[in-house]
């Protein structure tokens, strides 16, 4: 092998290594793509939880708009509302 071919082969090898490094480790390379994929999956999971929460809130809003029974039940559980003539008993949790 002549010296010029040997130098050309080395230059090509260095270029190949440099390009492979860029493919694997640059900010647009394989490792970055995998990190983005994990982040996208986490966001999809979060969106699913938020969609379920929105469904629950929508059903609550619709129930509250339909009548006083839902509003009264909510007031009883959240605010401790007691009607006239009712007796309120507080039962403490067992230790």
Q: What is the CA radius of gyration of the chain?
A: 33
Q: What are phi and psi of 28, to 5 degrees?
A: -120, 15
Q: How far apart are CA 11 and CA 20, in angstroms?
A: 14
For 21-58, how does the pLDDT look when each residue is reduced to its tens digit (9 = 90+)? 777 777 778 888 899 999 999 999 999 999 999 999 99
Domain ranges of the chain: 3-77
Residue with the larger pLDDT of the pair 9 and 87: 9
How far is residue 23's CA from residue 29's CA, in Å, rounded to a whole number? 5
What is the value of pTM for the model shown?
Answer: 0.51
Measured in whole angstroms, how far is the alpha carbon of residue 53 from the centre of its chain?
Answer: 13
């Amino acid at each position: 092998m002549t010296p010029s071919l040997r130098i050309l082969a080395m230059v090509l090898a260095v270029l190949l290594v440099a390009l492979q490094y860029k493919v694997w480790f640059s900010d647009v390379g394989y490792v970055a793509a995998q990190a983005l994929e994990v982040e996208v999956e986490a966001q999809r999971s979060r969106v699913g939880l938020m969609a379920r929460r929105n469904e629950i809130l929508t059903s609550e809003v619709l129930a509250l708009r339909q009548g006083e029974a839902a509003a009264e039940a909510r007031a009883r559980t959240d605010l401790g509302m007691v009607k006239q003539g009712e007796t309120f008993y507080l039962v403490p949790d067992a230790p």
